[in-house]
Every structure is written in C-alpha cells, then in structure tokens.
Structure 1
Amino acid sequence: MLAVFHAQNTEAAQNMGVLKKSWKPLCEATADLNAIPSNVNANLKTATTKVMNMLQEAIRAGIYAKLHEGSKPAKQATIVQAYLTSAAMAGLQQLTTKDITHGIDLVAKATYLKGDVDTFLNLAAKVKQSTEGCLVTTGSTVLERWDKKTAGDTPCPTTLQATTSAFTALQKLTTTGHSGAPATTNSGHEHQASATAACRLFSATNTNGLAKSAQIGDDIYWAGGYYKVARTSDSTLTIADLKNPDSLNDPDRKPWKDLFTALAKEPKPTHGSYGNITEKLQDNNRATSLIGRIYKNDGSKTKEDVKTDRTALFGDTSADQHRKIFGIINDDKITTKMAELAAGTQLGTITDGNDLAALLAVLELASMDEVQALKKKLEEQKDQQQTVTEDTCNNIKQEADCNKTARCSFNKTETDSNKKCQFDAKKSNSNRFPCSTSSSRRINNWVCSAQR
C-alpha cells in the first residue's frame, strides 16, 4: 500500500515546526537503533558459544569412549559424540551461510538509518530563535532543553553508543514497523505547530525555507524519509507510515523499509541449528539419520527402522539416559597424567580447546599403538602355531592317533614310505574360531582366529 500524501488545508501550518507527537517516535527509534549492534553481537556470541559447547561435549564424549572402550556407556558416548559433532557443524553452517551475513546487514542498515535520524534531530534542535524553531513541545512552544541524550523530558540519544555483548530488548521497532508511530494525517495541526514556530528546514521556498531564489529543485527528505518537504511552494509535511513497511516504496524512504526487512532476518541464538537436543534422540531426524548410517549403513532409515539399535543403548526415550551419560562423562576422571593434565582431572572441568584436543590425540595414538602391538602379537602366534603344528603331526606315528588330533590327518594316498601323519590345513581351519581381545576391538576388519 502506497503512502498517502495529505494536502495542506490550513495556511498557518506551512513550514512550521513539528510537534512532540511527531518527533518523539524518532527519539524512540534512535534509542532502539542504538541497541541493535550490541544485540547482534550478543546473539551471534550466544549462538557461537552454543556451537562451541557442543564441540566440547563431543570431544569429551570421544575421550570417555576411548577411556572405557567396549562398555555400554562408551557406546552411548560414541553415539552422543557423533550427534553433537553433526549438530555443531549444522550450527556453524547456519552461522556462516546466514546469521553472520544477516547480522552484519542489520547492523549496517540500523547504523545508516540512525545516522540519518540523528543528523535531522541534532540539526532541527539547533535551528531555532525566540519563538521560532523546528522541534515543538506543545502548541507553538519551541523545545528548549537538548543535550543529545534527552529532548526536554524525552530520552533521545543521538550519539552512537559503544558496542557491547549486552542484549537490550527493542521497545518500538519490530519486523512489522514502528509500533509507536502516529497516524500520517497532516492536514494542518496533526504533526505541525499551528503558528509562530516557523522552521526553514520544512520549506522549499527562498522566502521561508532553504532555497536561494524561487524554490528548491527537488523534494527534500529528512530522517530517512520520515518527513517529506515538497519542492513546490510551501505546503505541509508528508509523513511516512512507519507502521506499514509495505507502504515505504519511495526510494528516499528505503532506509526504514530496509531496517524492517533486516530485523525480520535478525540472527537468533534460539534457532534450531544451535540446539543440543540429545535428550530427544528418539524424535530427532538428525539422530535418526546418523544411527541409520552407523548401524545400517543407510542414512535414509526411519525412526522405526533404527528403533532396535537406538533403544538398545538409550531405551524407549533418551531423556534419562541422556542425563546419565552426560553426568557419567563429566564426572569421569583421567587416572594418570597425560597431555599435561594431572591425574584425577575431571573431564567436565576441561574446557580449553587445546587441552581437549591434546587429550583425545594422546588416547587415539595410544589406541593405534595398542592395535599394532596386538596385530603383531597375533601374527607371531600364528607363525609359531604353524611351526608347532607341522612338527606335532609329523611326530605322530599311529594313524588313529593322527586322525583324532585336531590339526592332523594321516596320508594314505602316498607310497608306503611316504604314508605318515601330516598337517592338514583344511582340517585346521575348520577347527578354528574368531578370537577376541580384552578390549573387545575389531581390528580393521581383520578377523583373527585361534585353534581350539
């Protein structure tokens, strides 16, 4: 809906100063605009902290899983680690692809508009003499007290405050407009003084306004387009409808429309991408996809498809198990000094990224060394067993004794001189079984076996 222009019908209102009901919304707006940079900073900081916390929790879960391999809590911790890592990456994606850009855009739009509004207010407050002036309190009384903090008794901060990480709720500016903006009707007395308080900023002529001769060549817009001064002869101001952003289609009113559009995209730390909802694994699509990929090698599995695997670790609902596993992880302590962390250090107290990364790396490397040592030992046992088996079979003389030995078979197909008890590889393999280790670890899909 286009802004409605209201023609003058009261001679006295031409080029008069604006009433408090008209300029007060600008003071309210500039106060809110002052808070926006800090609000964006606070929101992005909170969102980033949530992502960082998820990454820390994920690394702690990974550390716990390495310290207690094979246990049910370690398996729970591994699933939690996978989920939190995935959730943190989603949070980072939300930050890098949307929220950082939207936040910077909002700050840019807010500071641009604030500069325009503040320039007008600071100028209008100073353009006065005797009973004439641009900012009027009531009737035709010109505003007296102005210090860039207040206009009379109205808060009106027309300087830019320092950016902090404190969040301040906006009082008037919303995604749907300025809630305190007045009606735009200005037929003579609604926005401007009825007489006496003349303001040259609101006139296009050389007699009463800014022109040197005749009238100015184009319309003038003040405060981001809130006020429009027509380029023709003196007439009342046209007021932008700040309660209806869709009406602000004039390019000179774009700063306001841009602000309301940017507010609609303001980064919020409450966005779902920043949430740690491991207490609802049974309902979470991300968790379902991960469990499907982990246990079924298929991320398209439904909640019902992965229910058996999920409930085996977390029960029908994950809330209680979620609280328990995080408590177990955070309460766990390292038993020996490692990565410059003292023995007895509680996992939940480790927050430094370097400490967490170093501790996990120490455990990962130790695990690799353990696997390699185990593989080497099993190879040596296999070689030793192979030699002992050949010798054992060759030393058995009787056919019956040979055949009842698990790894031997009596060879009858040879000549009399070669008939003897020999190592039977097929018979040996058929009597072997997968071996396990104390750590219950499967080593790179390398299935070891030991003879019965």
Structure 2
Amino acid sequence: MTHLIFLFISFLGLLCRNGRPAENAGLSNTAWQPICGISTELGEVPAGAKHEAQAMLAYVNKLQLAAARASVYISKHKYSKQTAQALILRAYYITKASKAMNHYETTALQSHLAATSAASYLKGRLDDFMAVLEGVSGTNNRCLLKATSQDAGPTRTGNNLDGTPCSLKPPSMDARPYTSSKITKDGYQQLLHGSDNSAQQIQGNVGTAKCRVLKYHHSSNGWADTAPQGTPTAMAGYLKLDTADSNVNFEEAATLKGSSGGATTAWQTAHRTITALERAAGDKYRNATNKPSERTELTALTEATKDPSSQNTAAANTELAKLFGDDTAEKLQEAEHAISREKIPATTAGLDGEKMLGEIEDIAQLEKLQYYYDNELHKTMQSLKKQLEEAQKPKQQSPEQKEKECNEAGDEKTACDNLKEKGCVFNQAGEANKKCKFDATKALKSEVSLPQSQTGGSESTTEKCKGKPQGECKSPDCKWENNACKDSSILVNKQFALTVVSAAFMALLF
C-alpha cells in the first residue's frame, strides 16, 4: 500500500511540473533544427543552379573560341596541309557548341528555373511560419525551445539559432556549387515525421512555456472559437496543427517526396526538381578524350565529304586516321595544339603585341583577325585574277606594227595576197619594197583580230587547222591533239594561262 501511495504522489508531482500536454506544445530543438537545415539547403539551390548554368555557358563559349581560332588559322594558312585538319576541327567545335547550347536552351534552362522556383517557394513557406514561431516569446509564451528538457528559447546570432544555420532570408544568387546533403533521392533527411510524441519530443518537459499558435481547438488553451473542421497545416503541409487538445504532428516522409499532390505539393515539386537539377558535369558539357573515330560528331562530318555516287565505303576511322595521321586522341590533340600555338604578329588587326591564338580569349578580336586574313586573301585573289585576265586578253597591234608586217612581203604580190586576212593589200604603184601595204578599212571589213601572245609571236584567231586530216596537220601552225587538228597558237595561249594560274596558287601557298 505504501508503495502505491508513493507512485500516485510522484505522478501528481509530474503533472504539476509539466502541466497539461495542451499547454506545452512548443517545438523542441529536435523538431525545429531539421526544419532550419532544410530551409538552409533550399536557399542554396538558386545559387547552385546559377553555378551550373554559368559552367554550361562557359563550355559553349570555350567551343566557340576554339572554332574562332580554327577559322583564323584557316584564313591565315588557306592551302597548307594542316588546314584540312583545322577545317574539320572547326566544324566539330561548332557542332558540339550547337548541341550543348540546344540542350541548355531546351532542357537545362528549364531545369534550373524549375528548381530555383520550387526551392524558393518552399523556403518561403517554411521561413514564414518559422519566423512566427521564433517571434512568440515571453515569460510563459514560447514556440521554439532550446532543448527537450527546458522552457528556454534559442538565441539568434545573425543567421544562426543557437549555432544552427537558420537565416529565414531570401536565397542568395551568388553562384556557387550546390551539394545536396539533406535533399536526396531518398527524400528529405533528418526531419521528424508522424505523431509519436515520446519519440519526436515535440514539447519540453517543464510546464511554463506555451505555444497556442499550434493549437487549433476550442478549449481554453486553443485559439479556435468552435470545434475545428479538418486539420489545418503550416509549412506547406509539413506541420499539422493540434485539433484535439493534444499535440501537433508532422507529415510522413513518403508523402513529402511523392506525387500525390494535395497540401504537400510544394514539397513534392521541390524534391522532384532539385534532385533532377541539370549539372554541367554531364557528357554534353565535358571535353572528349577518346579517339577521333569514337566521337560521333567527327564521324558524321566525314560522311559529308563522301561522293554519293562513289563506291568508296571506307570506314570513318580510316578517313580520320588519314586526316590526322592516326586514329588516336594524341594525334587530334597535336592538331589542336598547332592551332593554339599559331603566332599572330603584333599590330595585326589591332593586336597589342605578338600572341599565340590560344592566348586570345576575346571573340571580337578573333573575328577581326579572321576578317583581316580573309580580306588579305581576297585582295591577293583579285590581283591574281586581274593578272590572269590580262594575260589571256588578246593584245591589239598598233597600225604601225600591222604596216610593218605587211611591208615584209616587199614587192611580191603572191606573198602579199597570202596576208590579205591580216588586212594587207598589194599596190603596184606603191613605194619600192613596200608595195604590200596595210589597209585599215579592209581589215575592219574582214573582222580580223590580230592577237599577240605573251611569247612575242603573232597568231590569228582564225582556226586555220580545223578540219584538216592528220597527215596535213603539221607544225608550226597546226598540231594533232585528241583526234583533231588544232591551231597551235590556241595551245600556246592555253599553256600560258595554265602557267599563270600555277604561279598564282604557288604564291598563295608560300
């Protein structure tokens, strides 16, 4: 009997010390610290998304710079052996940059915006109610407890509550890496769930601190006027208010990361978008290190140079090995390094000092250099074209030259008659040894052009040899070629034109 009386008295003492559960509903540190942890990590997501976006765009910019450098190299060495390597590398860089940018615009950007939006929204829902709970303080009023064994509240120092990061401020947008530790594929870590008060320690063990904000019922300790209908929630559905003069409880873990919607939609959306955040470490934003034939962009480019009517079925690795010297990553890197190490003289296109292409990080400067070398090439080609046109253009003889040519027939009428197509006429009454004279009127009527080749000889454009049989096709005027008799002057002019063209392209090469 004495033992039973002792237990009864002890129980009464416990009630006096703790008070009724309805009056002791403040959140202990075991409940609010995990909430602060989730809020803090949610605040890191926007900065992390920005960091990933910047890394992705930096990769695209790197490829664009590489393509621009290759373009400068090509313009500077238009016909060198290494230009073929630079051509395919430029196309490779542009293709990779285009693919990466397309992925960013269609997928990554949406991922970053979605995660930023969901994280910011959920953080706002948590922070808003946490600020209310933190603001409830006084002799007998407190909603956040320092520990499970006392009524004292935590002390705020800057962005910390009793040393726990809990800023309750908008997310920072200063780009920095985001590492998920509390928001994982498995859900939200360290949060309390359910309504087992003894396990969750929702309230303190002493009886002075009260938090009626959490008590939605119509007793003297609650703030409802009549019997409550339903269960109101706070913190986007995570915190379920007390409706039965007992204790609050927390949503189950599976519901917070699921897809059922309802009051916890903000949690579900944040979990889905944050765990699916697009990262720059993916294959689309990483430099390839494998051999050329294993890079799909390069193999696709080799197909572009194949003649559709050709029976050539050489494998891509054969084509790439021929182009780079071998189908190895090392050979491809050699070609890339050759472009990067190409020296550009000082003052070229406004360049401030001699630099290697790989040292130039300004796209605008690279575009200037490409224009400079393209323009120099254009001017050279125009000059050579003009020279070639001048070389191929028939040169008209002066009247004096034509008169001299006719006079060479002297007083021989037969010899002069043989020159009638050149405008020569025989004048019996003419000056001795000059009876064969040039008649400009007759030459005009005959519509005879008298070109003079660059070799110094004069040749008529009339094809004297056309139609002659092989036996009669003899030099110096005629030559048998391709089963036809052709005027040798035409052949001489063609050979000269080819010589000029060859000289022009040799000048470009060196």
**What TM-score do the two structures reach when normalised by structure 1?**
0.79
Kindly provide the amino acid, as one letter, of the partner of residue 459 in structure 2: D
Structure 2 residue 471 is matched with structure 1 residue 403: no
Q: Quote the Cα distance in structure 1 between the aligned partners of 2:504 and 2:222.
A: 93
**Letter aligned with residue 135 of structure 1:** L
Which of 4, 26, 35 does residue 35 from structure 2 map onto? 26
Query: More displaced, 400-409 or 18-27?
Result: 400-409
Q: CA deviation at 1:408?
A: 3.6
* TM-aligned CA distance change 1:405 to 1:226, over 3 Å: farther
Greater relative contact order structure (CA < 8 Å, 6+ sep): 1
**How far did residue 118 of structure 1 move?**
1.0
CA, structure 1 residues 181+436, in 2 after alignment: closer, same or farther (shift >3 Å)? Answer: farther
* Offset, 1:94: 1.5
Residue 84 of structure 1 corresponds to 93
For residues 271-303 of structure 1, give each alpha carbon's deviation from its aligned partner in whole angstroms, at most 9, with x where no partner exists.
22223327532201122112211x2167xx999
Question: Please, what is the CA RMSD of the aligned residues?
Answer: 3.9
Q: Does the 8 Å contact 1:55/1:88 carry over to 2?
A: yes
SS at match of 2:343: coil
- 2: CA distance, partners of 1:325 / 1:341: 24
State the shift of 1:326 in Å: 2.5
Distance (Å, rounded) in 1 between the aligned partners of 2:262 and 2:91: 50
Q: Match for residue 233 of structure 1?
A: 244
Aligned to 1:287: 298
Quote the Cα distance in structure 1 between the aligned partners of 2:281 and 2:363: 24
1:7 alignment partner in structure 2: none
SS of the aligned residue for 2:350 comes to coil
Q: Which of 307, 325, 338 pairs up with 1:328?
A: 338
Match in the other structure for 2:216: 204
Query: Does the aligned pair in 2 maintain the 1:282–1:303 contact within 8 Å?
Result: no
State the alpha-carbon separation in 1 of the partners of residues 153 and 314 from structure 2: 71
Does structure 1 conserve the Cα–Cα contact (< 8 Å) formed by 2:115 and 2:270?
Answer: yes
Task: Evaluate the alpha carbon distance shift between residue 439 and residue 256 of structure 1 in structure 2; reply closer, same or farther with a 3 A threshold.
Answer: farther
| Greater displacement, 122-131 / 357-366 | 122-131
The alignment partner of 1:282 has SS state of helix
Counterpart mapping for 1:27-426 below 5 A: 27-130=36-139, 132-136=141-145, 137-147=147-157, 149-182=159-192, 184-191=193-200, 192-193=202-203, 196=207, 197-206=209-218, 207-211=220-224, 213-229=225-241, 232-242=243-253, 245-247=256-258, 249-277=260-288, 280-293=291-304, 295-296=305-306, 305-335=315-345, 337-342=347-352, 344-384=354-394, 388=453, 391=459, 403-404=474-475, 408=479, 422=487
Task: Give the 3 Å change call, closer, same or farther, for CA 18–281 of structure 1 in structure 2.
Answer: same
Alpha-carbon separation, structure 1, partners of 2:327 and 2:64: 24
- Report the Cα offset of residue 310 of structure 1: 0.7
Check conservation: 1:175, 1:263, Cα contact below 8 A: no
Q: Distance in 1 between matches of 2:36 and 2:93?
A: 45
Task: Indicate conservation of the 8 Å contact 1:224/1:256, yes or no.
Answer: yes
- Superposition deviation, residue 92 in structure 1: 1.2
Q: Give 1:234 shift.
A: 3.1
Give 3-state SS (helix, strand or coil) of 1:72's partner: coil
In structure 1, stretches of 5+ residues that fail to align are 1-10, 411-419, 443-452
Shift of 1:404: 4.4
Q: CA deviation at 1:113?
A: 0.9
Does the CA contact (< 8 Å) of 1:15 and 1:202 recur in 2?
no
Distance 1:124 1:394, change over 3 A: closer
Aligned twin of 2:12? none
Q: Distance in 2 between matches of 1:24 and 1:332?
A: 59
Between 1:153-162 and 1:118-127, the stretch displaced more is 153-162
Task: Tell whether the 8 Å contact from 1:407 to 1:428 is kept in structure 2 after alignment.
Answer: no
TM-score, scaled to structure 2: 0.71
Which deviates further from its counterpart, 245-254 or 41-50? 245-254
Q: Which sits farther off after the overlay, 81-90 or 217-226?
A: 217-226
Structure 1 counterpart of 2:248, one-letter code: L
Which of the two has higher C-alpha Rg? 2
Contact 1:43–1:268, Cα closer than 8 Å, also in 2: yes
Cα 1:210–1:368 change in 2 (3 A) is farther
Q: Classify the secondary structure of the residue corresponding to 2:355.
A: coil
Q: Distance in 1 between matches of 2:503 and 2:255?
A: 72
Q: Is the 8 A contact 2:24 2:204 kept in 1?
A: no
Aligned amino acid, residue 210 of structure 1: W
Identity %: 21
- Distance (Å, rounded) in 2 between the aligned partners of 1:422 and 1:146: 105
C-alpha contact 2:76 2:373 (8 A) present in aligned 1? yes
- Check the 8 A contact 1:62/1:360 in 2, yes or no: yes
Distance in 1 of aligned mates of 2:226 and 2:158: 34
